[in-house]
């Protein structure tokens, strides 16, 4: 029971959004994996996002000497999974953070921001790394149409 509570606490990110691991792909014999987590947008009912990111294994951490940090790479895909109901969301061009996960022991983190493109009636989800030391240009984007065209 304690292990289950600990796992749930780890899944809860800095933004309070609960993510569920839905996939894990073994990349090599060093224990490196690609993890895929799903999370529902906390303020937009009916939207679910999947984020994929690299998780370094113990052998890779020891051999490279950078024990406490994972790469900044990530990928995101979001989709309508039910009727969309927009709650109280930030509507400026900076958007708002809807998901976050630490990628190092101190400063690096994976972030997902939601930006509302009101003119085109689209929600934009941007995954990127936040790294105080050097920043990061590694990012991925996904969009969800609020008024999908019907055939």
Q: What is the pLDDT of residues 92-126, one digit of tens each?
A: 998 999 987 765 555 667 889 999 999 999 999 99
Q: Which residue has the higher pLDDT, 67 or 30?
A: 30
Residue ranges making up the domain that contains 75:
2-145
Residue 150 lies in a domain: no
Count of the separate structural domains present in the chain: 1
pLDDT tens by residue, 34-79: 999 999 999 999 999 999 988 877 777 677 776 666 666 789 999 9
Residue 125 lies in a domain: yes
Residue 104 lies in a domain: yes
**In the chain, beta strands by DSSP E:** 20-26, 33-40, 44-55, 74-86, 96-102, 109-117, 122-130, 139-145
Predicted pLDDT of residue 20:
92
Predicted pLDDT of residue 58:
73
Residue 151 lies in a domain: no
CA–CA distance, 17 with 13 (Å, rounded to integer) = 6
Q: Which residue has the higher pLDDT, 112 or 131?
A: 112
> How large is the average pLDDT for residues 24-30?
89
């Amino acid at each position: 029971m304690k292990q289950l509570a600990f796992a749930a606490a780890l899944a809860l990110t800095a933004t309070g959004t609960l993510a569920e691991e839905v996939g894990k792909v073994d990349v090599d014999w060093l224990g490196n994996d690609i993890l895929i987590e799903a999370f529902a947008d906390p303020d937009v009912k009916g939207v679910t996002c999947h984020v994929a990111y690299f998780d370094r294994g113990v052998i890779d951490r020891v051999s490279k000497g950078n024990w406490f940090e994972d790469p900044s790479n990530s990928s995101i895909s979001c989709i309508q999974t039910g009727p969309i109901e927009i709650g109280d969301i930030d509507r400026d061009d900076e958007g708002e953070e809807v998901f976050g996960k630490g990628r190092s022991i101190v400063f690096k983190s994976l972030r997902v921001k939601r930006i509302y493109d009101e003119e085109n009636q689209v929600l934009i989800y941007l995954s990127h790394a936040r790294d105080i030391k050097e920043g990061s240009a590694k990012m991925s984007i996904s969009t969800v149409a609020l008024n999908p065209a019907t055939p």
